[in-house]
Amino acid sequence: MNELIQLITEPFMFPFMQRAIFAAIITGAVCAMLSCYLVLKGWSLMGDAISHAVLPGIVLAFAAGIPLAIGAFLSGIFCAFATGYLKEHSRIKEDTVMGIVFSGMFAFGLVLFARMDTDQHLTHILFGNMLGITKDELNQTLWITCITMVVILLKRKDFMLYCFDPNQARVVGLPIKFLHYGLLCLLAMTIVASLQAVGMILVIAMLISPGIIAFTLCRSFDRMLTVAVIASVSSCVLGTLISFHIDGATGPCIVIVQAIFFTLALAYSQIKLARIKSKHKTHQISLKISNELNQ
């Protein structure tokens, strides 16, 4: 028992682990909240597109000497608006447009990065480096996540109706375009906040897994938000602690833990469904026997 307690408490003795755990909590929470809306809206590919499309903005911001978050955000917003414009002004379907835009921008970012003379390793951008997060990067992540979470909480009902039924949202007078592009801006901000933690490749898992886990277990949206946040934060903290003890990459460890959580949630839902079907079948048999006896 003492060894287990030591395994849990030992990482908190180091300042870099304290920053990593705090970053894991705040990024896990904001990703979970947005994840519920993405799952409800069916925007998994949109998150993937924007997460890949931020690379050119990061490279250009590094070359210009401005904060990388600004370049990443502008690049992600450009991807979202370009996708919407191409969808509205052509016969190409949205998923095809997103595939073209994000793959093109990601390739453009790789070309720019290859042409730059820098000691920065591409792995840190692609997969993140949560254990190496600095105080300035942590403060930047904290501000972005706080703004995103406040907007989501204030407009959660409007976003929920828009994601669930856009036509109904239009009928009741909600600004559909504002909600559409507002959700895209929040998505871009969340991706920027999570870049240091898990990188642009694995952030899509953090934006989808919590929502899928909660969707599997819950039937109401408010409960779905709560379960998603709990699952995401716990998996982020657990993955960070595991990466410390095995000296592994933090982002992949977090994603693996989330995959395990999803497997457990799916198994639980299937067992629960099987029990319900069994009870219903038993009830039907009992009614049938009772009717035969009465006759």
pLDDT tens sequence across 239-288: 888 888 887 777 788 888 888 999 998 888 888 887 877 776 776 666 66
Among 45-54, 205-214, 282-291, name the one with the lowest average pLDDT.
Answer: 282-291
Q: Per residue in 90-133, pLDDT tens?
A: 777 777 777 787 788 888 888 887 777 666 566 666 666 777 77
In this structure, is the dihedral angle defined by the CA atoms of residues 229, 218, 260 and 7, taken in order, positive or negative?
A: positive
Which residues, other chains included, contact 95 with Cβ-Cβ below 8 Å and sequence gap of 6+? Answer: 45
Other beta carbons less than 10 A from residue 293's beta carbon: 7
**What pTM value is reported for the model?**
0.81
Residue given tokens 């990703």 in the structure block: 31
**6: its two tokens:** 């030591």
Residues 6 or more apart from 44 whose CB is under 8 A from it? 38, 204, 208
Predicted pLDDT at 286: 67
> CATH number of the domain that 15 lies in?
1.10.3470.10
Report the largest interatomic distance among the alpha carbons of the chain, rounded to a whole angstrom. 90
**Number of domains forming the structure of the chain:** 1
Range of 110's domain? 1-293
Alpha-carbon torsion, ordered 135, 136, 141, 146, to 10 deg: 90
Q: pLDDT grade, residue 289 (50/70/90)?
A: low
d(CA 25, CA 23): 5
